[in-house]
Amino acid sequence: MTIPFNNNRLLQLLFVVFISFSSVLAQDTNVVIDSIAVQKGEQIFKANCTACHVMGDKKLIGPGLLGVTDRRTKEWLKKWINSSSDFIASGDADAIAIYEEYNKVAMPSYYFEDTDYEAVYAYLQNPPLPKVIADAGDLLVSEDEGLNISTQLMFIALFLLLLVYVLTSLKNKLKDSLAQDTETITQTLVNQFNLFISNNRNIVFVAFACFIVVVKFGYDSLSSVGIYTKYQPEQPIAFSHKVHAGENGVDCNYCHSSARKSKHSGIPSANVCMNCHTYINEGTITGTTEISKIYEAVGFDPDSRTYISGYEQKPIKWVRIHNLPDLAYFNHSQHVVAGKVECKTCHGPIEEMDVVYQHAELTMGWCIECHRTTEVAMEGNEYYTELHEQLKEKYKGQKITVDKIGGIECGKCHY
Amino acid sequence: MTTTKKYWKGLAQLHDDPIVEKLAQNEFVEELPVEKFLGDKENLSSTNSSRRDFLKFLGFSTAAATLAACETPIVKSIPYLVKPDEIIPGVANYYASTIYDGRDYASVLVKTREGRPIKIENNGTCSNSRVQASVLSLYDSARLKHPLKQNQEASWRTVDSEIVEKLSNIKEGKIALLTSTILSPTTTQLIKEFSDKYKNVEHLMIDSTPYDGILDANLDSYGVRLAPSYSFDKADVIVSFGADFLANWMANEYATDYVNGRNPKNGKMSKHYQLETNLSLSGANADKRIQIKPSEHGYLISSLYDALKGKKFDSRLSPIVKSLKSANGKSIIISNSNDKNVQLIVNAINNKLNNYNNTISINEPTHLKQGNTQKLNDLLVDMQAGDVKALITYNVNPSYSYANSSQFNEALKKVDLKISTSLHNDETASLMDYVCPDSHNLESWGDASPKHGTYSLMQPTISPLFKTRQFQESLLVWTDRSDYLTYLKNFWTNNGIDWNVSLHDGYFNISEPKLSLKNFIDKSSPINLVSSNEIELELYESIALGDGYQANNPWLQELPDPLTRACWDNYLTISSHTAEQLGLLNWNVSNGALNGSLVDITSDDVVLRNVPVMINPGQARSTVGMAIGYGRTKAGKAGDNVGFNAYPFTNKKTITIEKVEGEYEFASIQLHHTMMGRDIVKETTLADYIKDPSSGNHRETYATYKGKLTADKVSLYDEHDLEHGHFWNLSIDLTACIGCGECVISCQAENNIPVVGKAEVRNSRDMHWMRIDRYFSSDMTEELSAEQKISMIDMFSEMEEPSENPEVVFQPVMCMHCNHAPCENVCPVAATTHSNEGLNQMTYNRCVGTRYCANNCPYKVRRFNWFQYSDNDKFDFNMNDDYGKMVLNPDVVVRSRGVIEKCSMCIQKIQELKLDAKKSGKPIEDKDAQTACASSCSTNAIIFGDSNNKESLVSKLRTDERAYDLLDHLNVRPSVFYQTKIRNKA
């Protein structure tokens, strides 16, 4: 179990500043360009082109487009994009060569506004810098938290040593000036310690302090037994929700489709991954390493983009993060559809998590607390029409919360 | 002042009995071996572990356990790689299919979860407990997992090529195909094609319980060897001579019609006479039951025919004759006799009464029984003579169920090529050269025509668990083809059937013209009374096991017989009068369990030794009954050597009984047989009901200062708010309940109820959430005792004795979900609480197992988990088996040791129902509200619903004059209520 958040905000800030500064430096080496156009071009590119082209050297359905602006002129590209078949028919040698090379499949025609075409060209001219590919392990633990605590402790220890040294030397100086015997640091420490323990009150105080610490520590650790908030296990594939749900804005229900229908939210089957990853062979953080694990599981050859026939598929063994005990019945669709609860209410800022951790406590107290305060989504649901009228009369003016319709009865979750 | 007064603890101390002194000195009555062990220096020093070691071990193990408990378990979640479109994990799918195992037929809906069938629901037809339990037989780990060649594992390729080669090489002599009754039109077609390829194929069908009598009689009467179909709902008078048509006779489809014809609301009920030897389920439900000996059976039918012809007749029949005379064309006469002559008279009576084409339909026959025992007898002669070169069996087990099985086994040795297609390596299959295991119904495609013009389709709900192949596919392979599904699909689409619609519905009807038959010919001849003084035996199929095909199904083994209430056994049922004559006894031992005497029974050369005797009220004098279907030897761990095989007695009429030393331990779950004058089951007659619908529904009153009040008017409790939202109620109609026990199995399947085994049932630790109490009437009544001035004590002791021919009532009892629940008040940890929907909830994870609730429950419906019943080798049933566990319902917790459990009113189904309604934004429809027991009830005796929904059926039943609460004087306000039992008697 690791906690991803670093207490040392300062270091994090420094890191971020450093990274952004360096990227600014890197951009400075290029010709100054219209960054707005590039951004727009990127959007158009992602919406229209990524199904067949990658911004790299690799072939997908069509050629990789890194450095295409060096190979072709702007006019050539425009003609090709507008209508490749007409262009080929016009007898352009380069166009015919590409047509032949890619199995005689002409590219579909795209008619962009001039500004849009400019933007796409600007993007093709200024491809994003190849990202530094991080290792999966790096992704999981971006900064090691244990090291930070020990560093802090080390600083404190150093500071204390320094203090002792300064005070001792000060004392020695004073003694020196008074022509008394000087002491070494060790002698001072031993003397001071003896002086300290010679007073019974001190001993009682220390013992009491220790007792309080032990009790507090014991209480905290015992009351956290079985609570796995922040539980963040390492997964077989370093899948980043931040990239998918956050940056790319994929709807939760796209992958976790059964959350609306079933008690299980459902871990998506690999064929759902393959809906997109047939074409997207490279990730933004880990490159091909993690995505290739899906291919290995389902038996997909990214080069020929075909499924390997007769391949013995290997199931992906995800580590379950939210472990509700068997004795408690929980139904996702109840909360998502009937209760209209947002995913993030219980799962937290998923779109910011590279590696998902358990956000909520998942204790019975946590469930009940929510049931006591959440109003039932009765409006507009015919199931509740009659009951709503009855309850409005019974609880005049009060919020009709889940517990008022029996939502905290034992038998609602335990059977 | 000091006192010298001395108190004695008892008379013994006063009289200075030495035992007092002795006991005072000896604290532990049972001597502890402390002295013996510690006093022996040598012994002590020779032990390897000292006291210190012990403490070390203790400390270490405690520390290790603590540390181990701290570790977070890593739970893996493995999704599909390619998820099938129709499966959403957590959501059940239902498929319409058919169950037919050669005996029981039903069109069913199969509930599957994540691709596993877990429950059978009725698809509009009548089913029974064996159909309900068949889903567990799918997961029977004793099923064959691969083909066998000479009892060794073999591949399909080897087996097929060898079989085809050997079959092709048969030039002379015949190939016999011995099957159960075949309902499937495609299978019939396939067998025909098989016969075309291999010349000289003879196809024979046999039924485990033969119906040759009826079939042969119809051949004589109408020229067709078929059995008619019956409409019990149209009959005003039903006269059954021994035929247990509500349970096992012929088709298991009559109960629904029977109960539909007996709805007192219509002011009319059919009059049901049962003349029988053993007390059967039908006899228990009859309005008038007459005990007869098997030897009188034919004579009485003959006498009834005489009576209808206006001749002299047996006086016992006079009420029947009277009833029949006013029911022209509206009666049914049936008999379980397998004697053609008897059935010819039955046909003649039905013809005389004008029943054909009214209540009995011979030109729209049932197809369920087509077996011909004579052909098997002839085959045996041929086999013995070496004329049969190959024998292929399908769905039959003659080495077990044929009356003369040893003769069959002998003859089998003379056959060169022996092939079985059994699912199990059963008694017959284990004698075969090749076993080509058939797939279970739930893994197979198929079709069936149970009745003229009615068809149903079978579709697989799971891929075959083992390397099995359905029989039809085997036939295709042996005729050099494959792909039965395409064959089946083509067969029906060529017949103009919309495949997808029919497969979705599970059944379809084809309006076929009625059979044109020749006119009825009366070939009956009268049968005279043959008096006999010997003890006569009549075999019967038990409600639970039927013909024993599913003997390895622990659910069925533990289903108590509705009448004797015993499970895991068969036995000789005997009347108390005959038992007394023979010196045979039943008695209760110290823990209440039932023991019985043992006897040896002999008939000619057939002997069974050490058979237990069960005294069963209702059994005719000088007769005994015995259930077939037990005594399997190669069924599997649950079914092997349970009870005795009675099949060898099939054709024996009389037996001699000899008492032998020893006693037998039964597992019977009901120890009191009568209601002891209390009105637990409230009962009235149809005549009284028509006069006053609330007749028989008397309520206890208490004397208060306001006058006499019923219990609900003098309550001390605060009321629960049951006005708002739902109020789930269950109504049980005791007139419609026939006691078949289908709901018990359905409940067991739905709620993951464990099987505990015979020994624990005997300890009264059975776990069924619902039981069907059976009460016999007693000759002694309060009126009679007042009349004859019999003392209270004598009256009650006589009331304990059931009549020799008692009236029987059945009463399903589950948790009553009291709204003033006695159990809720006494739970020290609030593990059982009340819901605002009228349910009594049980929270297993809160329960600490004090069992106060069970003690305080007036209905005794709470069950305690004395042991861990899952994953425990001591309880080696389906929950201790990787395959058997696949039947568990994932929505219901498997309870652990030390907690109480009880009927939850299928709260998982209620919650699902509400959620579906909330999600779709619609109010709940009454027909969708179902519990497992209600949905499985073939006679609609159990009705579930929301009483706050004024449109619901149950809300109307709640206010019906017949509705009453069980033990209403306790004022526990149950959510479950009953409708009075109404009998159509004078």
Distance from C-alpha of B91 to C-alpha of A332, rounded to nearest angstrom = 12
Indicate whether B287 and B329 sit together in one domain: yes
Residue with token string 């004697």: B339
DSSP strand pairing (B417-420 vs B434-435): parallel
Q: What is residue B19's predicted lDDT score, i.e. its pLDDT?
A: 74
pLDDT at residue number A17: 44
Write down the pLDDT at residue B353.
95
Nearest CB among A318, A325, A383 relative to B918 is that of: A383
Task: Check: CB of residue A143 under 8 Å from CB of residue A6.
Answer: yes
| pLDDT score at A83 | 82
**Dist. CA B513–CA A317, nearest whole Å:** 60
Q: A268 to chain B nearest CA, in Å?
A: 7
Residue B185 has pLDDT above 50, yes or no: yes
Residue B812 lies in a domain: yes
Per-residue pLDDT, A41: 83
Question: Is B724 within 8 Å of A391 when comparing Cβ atoms?
Answer: yes
pLDDT, tens only, A342-397: 999 999 999 999 999 999 999 999 999 999 999 999 988 999 999 999 999 999 88
The answer on B562 and B652 residing in a single domain is yes
CA distance A288 to chain B (A): 20
Question: Are B398 and B294 within one domain?
Answer: no
Contact B81 A412 (CB under 8 A): no
Report the alpha-carbon distance of residue A375 to residue B737 in Å, rounded: 44
Which ipTM was obtained for this model?
0.84
Whether residues B329 and B407 share a domain: the answer is no
Cβ–Cβ gap A412/B839 under 8 Å: no
Could you tell me the sign of the dihedral formed by the alpha carbons of A28, A30, A35, A39, in that order? negative
Predicted local confidence at residue A141, as pLDDT: 42
A13 — pLDDT class (breaks 50, 70, 90) = very low
Closest CA to A133 of A15, A292, A321, A351: A292
Q: What is the CATH number of the domain that holds B340?
A: 3.40.228.10
Domain boundary among B48, B71, B94: B71
User: What is the band of B3 on the pLDDT scale with cuts at 50, 70, 90?
Assistant: low
State the nearest Cα–Cα gap between A378 and chain B, in angstroms.
9
Any B CB within 8 A of A226 CB: no
Could you give the CA distance from residue B528 to residue B341 in angstroms, rounded to a whole number? 12
pLDDT at A243 over 50: yes
Q: Can you give the CATH number for the domain in which B379 is found?
A: 3.40.50.740
* pLDDT above 60 for B816: yes
Per-residue pLDDT, averaged over B41-45, amounts to 68
Residue B47 is assigned to a structural domain of this protein: yes
Give the pLDDT mean for B948-962.
94
Q: B913 to chain A nearest CA, in Å?
A: 11
- Rounded Cα distance between B105 and B663, Å, is 39
Asked whether residue B763 is domain-assigned, the answer is yes
pLDDT at A162: 92
Given a cut of 70, whether residue A193 has pLDDT beyond it is yes
Instruction: Pick the more confident residue, A146 or B934.
Output: B934
Predicted confidence band at A26 (pLDDT cuts at 50, 70, 90)? very low
Domain boundary among B329, B361, B393: B361
Nearest CA distance, A38 vs chain B (angstrom): 38
Q: Give the residue on B whose Cα is nearest the Cα of A225.
A: B70
Q: Which one of 1.10.760.10, 1.20.120.520, 3.40.718.10, 1.10.357.10 gives the CATH number of domain A31-125? A: 1.10.760.10
What pLDDT, on the 0 to 100 scale, is given for residue A130?
59
Containing domain of residue B811, as a range? 683-816+904-983
Q: Is residue B410 domain-shared with residue B262, that is, in the same domain?
A: no
Give the mean model confidence (pLDDT) for residues B13-39. 70
**CB-CB under 8 Å, A334 with B922:** no
Query: Could you tell me if A391 lies within 8 Å of chain B, comparing CB atoms?
Result: yes
Instruction: Indicate whether B875 pLDDT > 90.
Output: yes
Q: Which of B715-724, B744-753, B877-886 has the lowest mean pLDDT?
A: B715-724
Is the domain of B431 the same as that of B552? Answer: no
The string of pLDDT tens digits covering residues B90-120 is: 999 999 999 999 999 999 999 999 999 999 9
pLDDT above 80: residue B372: yes
The H or E element spanning position B333 is strand B331-335
Residues of chain A neighbouring B752 (CB-CB closer than 8 A): none
Q: Which of B220, B278, B283, B282 minimizes the C-alpha distance to B255?
A: B282
Average of per-residue pLDDT across B169-173:
89
**B845, B853, B888, B912: best to mutate for the A interface, most A CBs within 10 A:** B845
B525 lies in some domain: no
Q: Are residues B298 and B316 in the same domain?
A: yes
Chain B residues whose beta carbon lies within 8 Å of the beta carbon of residue A414:
841, 843-846, 893
Whether residue B347 is found in the same domain as residue B396: no
Assign residue B540 the CATH number of its domain.
Answer: 2.40.40.20
Q: What is the DSSP letter of B92?
A: -
- Are A152 and A162 in contact by the 8 Å Cβ rule? The answer is no
pLDDT over 90, % of chain B: 82
Is the CB of residue A279 less than 8 Å away from at least one CB of chain B? Answer: no
pLDDT of amino acid B392: 96
Q: What integer pLDDT is reported at residue A5 of this predicted model?
A: 41
Tens digit of each residue's pLDDT (9 = 90 or more) over A59-94: 777 788 888 888 888 888 888 888 888 888 888 888
Q: Which residues of chain A neighbour B82 with C-beta distances below 8 Å?
A: 269-271, 298, 313
Nearest-by-Cβ selection for B89 from A258, A271, A320: A258
Task: List chain B residues with CB under 8 Å of A271.
Answer: 80-83
Cβ <8 Å between A271 and B78: no
Residue B32's pLDDT is: 66
Asked if B837 is an interface residue toward chain A (Cβ–Cβ < 8 A), one would say: yes
Q: Tell me which of A67-81, A231-245, B517-531 is least confident.
A: A67-81
List, by residue range, all CATH 1.10.760.10 domains of chain A. 31-125
* B394 and B325 housed in the same domain: no
Of residues A143 and B467, the one with the higher pLDDT is B467
Q: For chain A, what percent of residues have pLDDT higher than 90?
A: 41
Average pLDDT of chain B to the nearest whole number: 92
Supply B936's token pair: 């499985």
Of A267, A387, A414, the CB nearest to B77: A267
Give the residue, B74 or B110, on which the prediction is more confident: B110
Taking only the tens place, the pLDDT of each residue in B666-698 is: 999 988 899 988 889 999 999 999 999 999 998
Q: How confident is the model at residue A120 (pLDDT cuts 50, 70, 90)?
A: confident
Whether the pLDDT of residue B59 is over 80: the answer is: yes
Amino acid identity for residue B629 in this structure? G
- Do B573 and B641 belong to one domain? yes
Residue A139 pLDDT grade (very low, low, confident, very high; cuts 50, 70, 90): very low
| pLDDT of the residue at B11 | 75
Tell me if B77 and A320 make a contact (CB, 8 A cut-off).
Answer: yes
- What pLDDT is recorded for position B67? 77
Name the pLDDT band for B38 (thresholds 50, 70, 90).
low
B851 or A39: which carries more pLDDT confidence?
B851
Residue A8 in this model has a pLDDT that exceeds 80: no
Which residues on chain B are in Cβ contact (under 8 Å) with A406?
725, 835-837
Q: Is residue B327 domain-shared with residue B386, that is, in the same domain?
A: no
Q: Which residues in chain A have their CB less than 8 angstroms from residue B896's CB?
A: none
Average pLDDT rounded to a whole number, residues A217-235:
88
pLDDT range class, residue B865, cuts 50, 70, 90: very high
B548 and B653 both lie in a single domain = yes
Residues 920-949 of B with CB under 8 A from A: 920-924
The pLDDT, as a whole number, for residue A25 is: 43
Q: What is the mean predicted confidence (pLDDT) over B200-226?
A: 94
- What pLDDT shows up at residue B845? 93
Nearest-CA distance A212 → chain B (Å): 23
CB B349 within 8 A of CB B302: no
- Chain B: closest CA distance from residue A308 (Å): 14
Q: Which of B337, B361, B385 is the last residue of a domain?
A: B361
* A281-320 pLDDT, tens digit each: 888 888 889 999 999 999 999 888 889 999 999 999 999 9
Return residues 712-751 of B near A (CB < 8 Å).
723-725
The total number of structural domains that make up chain B: 5
pLDDT reported for residue B44: 66
Residue B912 Cα, gap to closest chain A Cα (Å):
9
Average pLDDT (B553-570) is 95
Poorest-pLDDT segment among A168-177, B268-277, B578-587: A168-177
In a domain, B505, yes or no: no
Instruction: Please report whether residue B530 resides in a domain.
Output: no
| B9 domain residue, yes or no | yes
For the segment B295-338, what is each residue's pLDDT rounded down to a tens digit? 999 999 999 999 999 999 999 999 999 999 999 999 999 999 99
Decide if A319 and B843 are in contact by the 8 Å CB cutoff. Answer: no
**Per-residue pLDDT at B591:** 87
C-alpha gyration radius of chain B: 31
CB of A379 within 8 Å of a chain B CB? The answer is no
Measured between CB atoms, which of A262, A272, A337 is closest to B88? A262
In a domain, B771, yes or no: yes
pLDDT band at A144 (very low <50, low <70, confident <90, very high): very low
Chain B nearest C-alpha distance from A260 (Å):
9
Query: What pLDDT shows up at residue A1?
Result: 41
A263–B contact, CB cutoff 8 A? yes
* B813 interfacial to chain A (CB closer than 8 Å): no
Rounded to the nearest 10 degrees, how much is the dihedral formed by the CA atoms of B861, B866, B869, B870? 110
Spatial separation of the C-alpha atoms in residues A289 and A296, rounded to whole Å:
11
Higher pLDDT, A141 or B773: B773
Mean pLDDT for the stretch of residues B176-204: 94
B-contacting residues in A 290-349 (Cβ below 8 Å): 297-298, 313, 315-320, 323, 325-327, 329, 331, 333-334, 337-338
